[in-house]
Amino acid sequence: MYEAAVVTDQLLGVGEKFTDFTKAVTTKASIAQTPKELIWTLNKAKLYRYIPLLPKEERHPVPLLLVFALMNRPYILDLKPGHSFVEFMVKSGYDLYLLDWGTPGPEDKHLKFDDYALDYLPRAIRKLKVVSGSEEFSMLGWCIGAIITTIYAALRPDDGLRNLVLLTAPLDFSNKDGITFSRWVDERYFDVDKVLAAFGNMPGEMIDYGAKALKPVENYVGNYLKLWDNLDNPQVVDAWQAMNTWVTDNVPLAGGAFRQLVVDLYRNDRLMRGEWIIRGERVDLGRISAKLLTVIAEGDHITPPCQSAAIMSRVSSTDKELFRIPGGHIGIMAGSGAGKRTWPHIENWLAPRSD
């Protein structure tokens, strides 16, 4: 009799739970709360400086620039108060800058890695140097942002880059069987020119589908079941909403850059082969001399570990470290364990090299 009453209560509660579930899925979380100021813009790109919490004499003199991917919003680095890499680094005494590439429009369909690495990034860095008053700087590139920072580090090795941190960097495309995207964009199956002729830029929804389809059950089913099971836990719901807000905020990828990504990198592995020409200059990884930290997520399906390790033997940096950490592509920086494992490791590596 008692158990029957419990079952009845639970059945009655399902409707209420469903309402809560719908609300949680459709509500946008308040993200990117760390105070910042806009110091430079060009086209859609914006450079922000986070308001320092410590006085200048207590901060690290070498500023840090965060460069995120082109096809997602960079506020994953500043997800929510109390769970933000940006907040963590500002509190740790860094003069912190974030380059937001913005959302490309139809007029940007010709933009290539050449433009991002040799126009936008150097101009943003120039402004960073003026504002920070430092000729040297550190740079952290994540995912496609790591490709851009790597190109820059190789082509402009004397521009003041002291430390380079690469997170889940897709640089080596030689292992075709180990990279699912390589299979999908194989020239036998995927006509990149036809896609770009139709859309101009690669639509954010298609990129989002591609990323989610790598683990379809987790992303389309398990993710929502996790929320359903934890609706009575406000902490889990808050974290889920913040992540969902970021995941559903898709950005198209400029057509020119997408074509290079598919043809030059996924199909022909031109970067690792030393054959990639960016605005007439060959990208020679051997010219990278900055201190290097490469972070690999061991459970990464988007950038499998095999894509990030090879750079360690190609660069001429004498101070370099490869850090492997359990977790996925996004989870290592934005997951619940990020604040205990990844962030402190990056900070501990950077701190003595930023003084």
Partner 1 sequence: MSEKQAANGKEFDPTDAFREMRDTYLDAWAKSMVDTVNTDAYAKASGMMLNNYLSASSPFREAVEKVMLQALQQFSMPSRADVVSIAERTVNIEVRLDDMDAKLDRIEKSLASPRPASRTRSAARPAARPAARRSRKKGAK
Catalytic residues: 143, 300, 329
Window contacting partner 1 (CB under 8 A); options: 211-219, 284-292, 320-328, 332-340: 211-219
Strands 45-50 and 36-42 turn out to be antiparallel
Tell me how far, at minimum, the Cβ of 262 lies from partner 1, in Å: 12
Window contacting partner 1 (CB under 8 A); options: 157-165, 208-216, 273-281, 306-314: 208-216
Q: Is 1 in the site for partner 1 (CB under 8 A)?
A: no
Two tokens at 336?
Answer: 């619940």
Q: Is 195 in the site for partner 1 (CB under 8 A)?
A: yes
Q: How far apart, in whole angstroms, are the C-alpha atoms of residue 185 and residue 36? A: 39
Q: Which of 7, 57, 158, 318 binds partner 1 (CB under 8 A)?
A: 7
- Contact between 292 and 321 under an 8 Å Cβ cutoff? The reply is yes
Q: How far are the Cα atoms of 14, 15, 28, 29, 223 from residue 232, in angstroms, in the given order?
A: 12, 14, 18, 17, 16
Binders in 300-339 for partner 1, by CB under 8 A: 301
Q: Is 13 in the site for partner 1 (CB under 8 A)?
A: no
Q: Which is nearer to partner 1, 190 or 323 (CB)?
A: 190
- Identify the residue whose tokens are 């920086």: 333
Q: Which of 8, 28, 61, 186 binds partner 1 (CB under 8 A)?
A: 186
Binders in 62-101 for partner 1, by CB under 8 A: none
Q: Is 183 in the site for partner 1 (CB under 8 A)?
A: yes
Q: Is 6 in the site for partner 1 (CB under 8 A)?
A: yes
Q: Which is nearer to partner 1, 93 or 252 (CB)?
A: 252
Tell me how far, at minimum, the Cβ of 180 lies from partner 1, in Å: 5
Window contacting partner 1 (CB under 8 A); options: 35-43, 146-154, 233-241, 336-344: 35-43
Binders in 110-139 for partner 1, by CB under 8 A: 119, 123, 126-127, 130
Burial label, 322 (beta-carbon count in 10 A; 0-12, 13-18, 19+):
middle
Sequence-separated (6 or more) residues with CB below 8 Å from residue 149: 67, 121, 139, 140, 141, 164, 166
Q: How far apart, in whole angstroms, are the C-alpha atoms of residue 195 and residue 201? A: 9
CA of residue 326 relative to chain centroid, distance: 17
**Binding map of partner 1 across residues 225-244, x = CB under 8 A, - = no contact:** x---x---------------
Sequence-separated (6 or more) residues with CB below 8 Å from residue 319: 291, 292, 353
Q: Which is nearer to partner 1, 229 or 275 (CB)?
A: 229
Q: In the chain, where does DSSP find H-type helix? A: 2-26, 85-91, 113-115, 121-132, 144-155, 180-184, 192-199, 204-213, 216-217, 223-229, 234-247, 255-260, 270-273, 311-314, 331-334, 342-353
First-residue to last-residue Cα distance in the chain? 70
Q: Is 12 in the site for partner 1 (CB under 8 A)?
A: no
What 3-state class would DSSP assign to 354? coil
Window contacting partner 1 (CB under 8 A); options: 2-10, 167-175, 268-276, 321-329: 2-10
For partner 1, the binding residues (CB under 8 A) are: 2-3, 6-7, 10, 40-43, 105-107, 119, 123, 126-127, 130, 180, 183-184, 186, 188-191, 194-195, 198, 213-218, 221-222, 225, 229, 301
